[in-house]
Chain A
Amino acid sequence: MAEEKKLFKVTIDGITIEVEPGTTILNAARQIGGEVTPPAMCYYTKLKNSGGKCRTCLVEVAAGSTADPRPMPKLVASCRTTVMDGMVVKNTSSERVLDAREGVVEFLLINHPIDCPICDQAGECDLQDLSYAHGADASRFDFQKRTFIKHDLGPYIQLHMTRCIMCYRCVFVADQVTNKRVHGVLERGDHAEIATYIEKALDNDFIGNVIDVCPVGALTDKTFRFKNRVWFTKPVKAHRDCSKCCGKVHAWLRGDEILRVTGRKDKWGEVEDWICNECRFEKKNVKDWVIEGPAEINRHSVISQGHYSGKIGTTKPNDTFSKVMNGRQPKTLMNIHDISQVNLPGLNLAAIPGPAHSTDFDKANQKALPKKED
């Protein structure tokens, strides 16, 4: 006779929920949802042994269980701590947690280049969200940031080691999704880096998934690199018959052009199923895909500000440059050289004593300016 499973009662920030034994605090909080859920940078439900490393999901356990109601002395990583019956957890209601989380965010950012304006991950970056929610407005770190020697990971995956937060997710993907791992963590401490020991391309059929699991812009799609900002593209659900994977993806469109293909992500930013490299990198034509409809994007996400109009995948953007500019030619930043007086050919700026002033460039004074020697 099947015995009825006993559910564990756990209270998180005053909200009580019953969960299966063996559930982690993080997953219990996700069942409640909303503010109660601690952020997670390294934990990934589909990857075994992931989590516990980034320390952003630290929570306070105010009471261990009904049987042993003592509080835990240290903050615990909610992604790796399983709930006990009668456990009382404090997340945002605990000053200690918020203080520790602020510290962790600061630590994650001190060596992060914060190059969001040129980062392809911007807009869907977990670290960006985290620092908006918990970060300070200024850095107290006035030292040179850490740099690394560049490693080339092949034609599909771009590695920016300076952005990496060492979540180990990509290592777990290579271990658990592909049949051979050729990259890993080298060195230790603050010099630890993700790389292949001997310069080698990541060429496994499923290795593209490291791009999806990467919480920051450390691993990005080379076929999408600098093509567009993610919030200008529109994600649609699409599928195709693929012999290797499920073939169910999000295709990111601009007009009727597919700029990028990723796995389908749920509301916690985790992919529903792994997809193969062929689907991800090779199939960039609308004809390759059956488009199902718009993807659900969190209302608060910057991506959702691009609205869908007309039939998806068939419209072209009608606000072209020439239309917007009413026939005039658009001026780009580079055009400033055409009108600038500063960069006159033959002008040797280095020879001006002290800082240059506008009067130095007056037409009348032009003759007095030192000329470049050829």
Chain B
Amino acid sequence: MGVKLLLDKAHIEGIRYFDVYRKNGGYTSVEKALKMTPEAIVEDVKKSGLRGRGGAGFPTGLKWSFIAKPEGIPRHLVCNADESEPGTFKDRYLMEFIPHLLIEGLIVSSYALGSNATYIYIRGEYAWIPDILEQAISEAKANGFLGKNILGSGFDCEIYVQRGAGAYICGEETALIESLEGKRGNPRIKPPFPALKGVWDRPTVVNNVETLCAVVPIINMGGEEYAKIGVGRSTGTKLISACGNINKPGVYEIDMTISVEEFIYSDEYCGGIANGKRLKACIPGGSSVPILPANLLLKTAKGETRYMNYESLSDGGFATGSMMGSGGFIVYDEDQCIVKNTYTFARFYRHESCGQCSPCREGTLWMDKILKNIETGKGKMSDIDLLWDVQRKIEGNTICPLGDAAAWPVAAAIRHFRDEFEWHVLNPEECLKRNYGLAHYADAREVVA
């Protein structure tokens, strides 16, 4: 049983309401934090080694220390609850079942950053969650944890919930800011970074829901204590939303020391592959990160055990590794078609591209069309090389990371599953009727056995 810091109270009945949450030790971090100086909190978060949980894994304390502090200009904290990455649903769990944890984290973080108006930007598809959050905010307000002069400390803070309108791109921080301002959700061209010019050209920090929730245990137990959990630069706990062909899909909190094999096969977590099938591939961090075949997933290219943390998952770079990403853990069994999966992702990214910069706008469309041809048995052998070339010309040449996010899954699928693409081209009729199966990237467990 691993350490639980975020979901330790999730099972308590009525934890969604203030009274129960407070009775179970809630809002103690606010009381503690308001007695500290904001700088001390930032220092504590730096010491904790907390890394952004939204996908990029940028150290949160460092991000907070970058915020510009010009005289007389208000600063803002924005909570990025636009969780749209296919395969990721951890923030939804946090907001839906323990909303006060987020509110508590937001109050502490707002105090640390000096934000008197804090925003939660939540995706439009989570239609019922803003009501839960707003209820939590009004409860916190009624009990003096929000509003003017919080707990007599002289610090004012208001939290506003803003609904998005259903765009994946608005999860990119500058697009989120544009959307929050009421404009078209196009990512801004950086620099200037939000820490300098964010919402209404004021210094802004944008953090993921889980990151802000993790601030609560950091304050409660102290940054140094928090840093002792986990391994290396992957400190603390991480929520993993596991889905796909596993026995027990759901949101799990792990302490980043367990191996991928344990996570998939142990009964405490995913409980093995569903229906007694074999593991074919896995996307460990949400649809944008490279897919890994079973043999590279359980063991790194060097033959070492792969662990569920930032360093181990990205071991080997993109050639033989992947990324922790946002923690959307998608598992594929032997019956899944990688080409179809890649086509589905390409279609998603084509649909969600904002259309601002040319490589992403045209490239995602092109990849979608080529993959559709290959998937439906109309592909040519040269299409695979063309696809590789197209993704190569998108990656790194776009304004925001959506271009990279669209290119990586395609690149990884071709890199690791090229034989399956070729099989689709060579067997146009058969590929419509049956799947390619496991081939040489068999489950490493079976190879050993």
Residues of A within 8 A of B (CB): 51-56, 58, 74-75, 77, 80, 99-100, 102-104, 106-108, 110-111, 140-141, 143, 146, 165-166, 168, 184-185, 187-192
A307 to B197, CA, bound (A): 52
- Give me the 5 closest cross-chain CB pairs, A-B, nearest first: A103-B393, A192-B355, A52-B189, A107-B362, A189-B353
B358 adjacent to A165 (CB under 8 Å): yes
A55 adjacent to B353 (CB under 8 Å): no
Query: Which B residues lie within 8 Å of A77 (CB)?
Result: 189, 399
A108 to B399, CA, bound (A): 16
Tell whether B365 is near chain A: CB-to-CB under 8 Å: yes
A139 to B184, CA, bound (A): 33
| Distance from A114 Cβ to chain B, minimum over Cβ atoms (Å) | 14
Per-residue contact bits, chain B 58-76, to A (CB 8 Å; 1 contact, 0 not)? 0000000000000000000
B184 adjacent to A185 (CB under 8 Å): yes
Set B355, B361, B366, B396: member contacting A141, Cβ < 8 A: B366
| Distance from A248 Cβ to chain B, minimum over Cβ atoms (Å) | 32
B393 adjacent to A54 (CB under 8 Å): no
A55 adjacent to B359 (CB under 8 Å): yes
- Nearest to A168 among chain B residues (CB) is B356
A188 adjacent to B359 (CB under 8 Å): no
Per-residue contact bits, chain B 383-407, to A (CB 8 Å; 1 contact, 0 not)? 0001000001110111100000000
A143 to B394, CA, bound (A): 19
B365 adjacent to A53 (CB under 8 Å): no
Set B354, B393, B398: member contacting A188, Cβ < 8 A: B354
Query: Which A residues lie within 8 Å of B359 (CB)?
Result: 55, 103-104, 107
Tell whether B363 is near chain A: CB-to-CB under 8 Å: yes
- Which applies to chain B's interface (DSSP): helix, strand, loop or mixed? helix
B397 adjacent to A58 (CB under 8 Å): yes
Q: Say yes or no: A51-B355 contact (C-beta < 8 A), given A189-B350, A189-B361.
A: no
- 5 new A-B contacts, CB < 8 A, other than A52-B357, A189-B364, are A74-B397, A77-B189, A107-B362, A168-B356, A188-B355
Set A103, A168, A192: member contacting B361, Cβ < 8 A: A192
Query: Which B residues lie within 8 Å of A100 (CB)?
Result: 393, 397
Query: Which A residues lie within 8 Å of B365 (CB)?
Result: 110-111, 146, 189-190
- Nearest to A185 among chain B residues (CB) is B184
Tell whether B369 is near chain A: CB-to-CB under 8 Å: yes
Query: Which A residues lie within 8 Å of B352 (CB)?
Result: 188-189
- Nearest to A110 among chain B residues (CB) is B362
A184 to B186, CA, bound (A): 13
Question: Which residues in window 342-356 of B have CB below 8 A to A?
Answer: 350-356
Q: Say yes or no: A104-B364 contact (C-beta < 8 A), given A188-B167, A189-B350.
A: no
- List 16 A-B residue pairs with CB atoms under 8 Å apart, sorted by A's residue number: A52-B357, A58-B397, A74-B396, A74-B397, A77-B399, A103-B394, A107-B363, A107-B366, A110-B366, A143-B369, A166-B356, A166-B358, A189-B361, A189-B365, A190-B353, A190-B364
- Nearest to A107 among chain B residues (CB) is B362
- Which applies to chain A's interface (DSSP): helix, strand, loop or mixed? loop
Query: Which B residues lie within 8 Å of A107 (CB)?
Result: 358-359, 361-363, 366, 393
Set B353, B364, B399: member contacting A53, Cβ < 8 A: B399
- Nearest to A171 among chain B residues (CB) is B184
| Distance from A148 Cβ to chain B, minimum over Cβ atoms (Å) | 13
A190 adjacent to B355 (CB under 8 Å): yes
Question: Which residues in window 4-52 of B have CB below 8 A to A?
Answer: none
| Distance from A172 Cβ to chain B, minimum over Cβ atoms (Å) | 13
B355 adjacent to A140 (CB under 8 Å): no
- Nearest to A187 among chain B residues (CB) is B355
| Distance from B140 Cβ to chain A, minimum over Cβ atoms (Å) | 36
Set A103, A106, A185, A189: member contacting B351, Cβ < 8 A: A189
Set B167, B350, B362, B392: member contacting A111, Cβ < 8 A: B362
- Nearest to B396 among chain A residues (CB) is A74
B399 adjacent to A190 (CB under 8 Å): no
B167 adjacent to A53 (CB under 8 Å): no
A48 to B366, CA, bound (A): 32
A51 to B189, CA, bound (A): 9
Q: Say yes or no: A108-B396 contact (C-beta < 8 A), given A52-B189, A143-B369.
A: no
| Distance from B24 Cβ to chain A, minimum over Cβ atoms (Å) | 44
Tell me which of B184, B350, B359, B386 has the highest count of chain A C-beta atoms within 10 A of its own C-beta.
Answer: B359
| Distance from A93 Cβ to chain B, minimum over Cβ atoms (Å) | 18
Query: Which B residues lie within 8 Å of A168 (CB)?
Result: 356
- Nearest to A112 among chain B residues (CB) is B362
Tell me which of B351, B355, B386 has the highest count of chain A C-beta atoms within 10 A of its own C-beta.
Answer: B355
- Nearest to A193 among chain B residues (CB) is B355
A190 to B398, CA, bound (A): 15
| Distance from B47 Cβ to chain A, minimum over Cβ atoms (Å) | 26
Set B363, B386, B399: member contacting A140, Cβ < 8 A: B386
A146 to B365, CA, bound (A): 10
A140 to B362, CA, bound (A): 13
Query: Which A residues lie within 8 Å of B189 (CB)?
Result: 51-53, 77, 80
A110 to B358, CA, bound (A): 11
| Distance from B386 Cβ to chain A, minimum over Cβ atoms (Å) | 6
A56 to B350, CA, bound (A): 21
A102 to B169, CA, bound (A): 26
| Distance from B45 Cβ to chain A, minimum over Cβ atoms (Å) | 26
- Nearest to A49 among chain B residues (CB) is B189
Query: Which A residues lie within 8 Å of B356 (CB)?
Result: 53, 166, 168, 192
Query: Which A residues lie within 8 Å of B363 (CB)?
Result: 107
A230 to B361, CA, bound (A): 31
- Nearest to B404 among chain A residues (CB) is A74
Q: Say yes or no: A108-B355 contact (C-beta < 8 A), given A80-B189, A100-B397, A190-B365.
A: no
Q: Say yes or no: A166-B361 contact (C-beta < 8 A), given A188-B354, A189-B355, A190-B353.
A: yes
B357 adjacent to A54 (CB under 8 Å): yes
A111 to B361, CA, bound (A): 11
A53 adjacent to B351 (CB under 8 Å): no
Query: Which A residues lie within 8 Å of B394 (CB)?
Result: 103
A108 to B355, CA, bound (A): 12
| Distance from B294 Cβ to chain A, minimum over Cβ atoms (Å) | 31
Per-residue contact bits, chain B 144-172, to A (CB 8 Å; 1 contact, 0 not)? 00000000000000000000000101000
A189 adjacent to B358 (CB under 8 Å): no
Query: Which B residues lie within 8 Å of A188 (CB)?
Result: 167, 169, 352-355
B361 adjacent to A190 (CB under 8 Å): yes
Query: Which B residues lie within 8 Å of A110 (CB)?
Result: 362, 365-366
A55 adjacent to B397 (CB under 8 Å): yes
B358 adjacent to A53 (CB under 8 Å): yes
A104 to B361, CA, bound (A): 11
A192 to B350, CA, bound (A): 12
B397 adjacent to A103 (CB under 8 Å): yes
Query: Which B residues lie within 8 Å of A140 (CB)?
Result: 386
Query: Which B residues lie within 8 Å of A103 (CB)?
Result: 359, 392-394, 397
A111 to B355, CA, bound (A): 13
A191 adjacent to B396 (CB under 8 Å): no
A106 to B361, CA, bound (A): 12
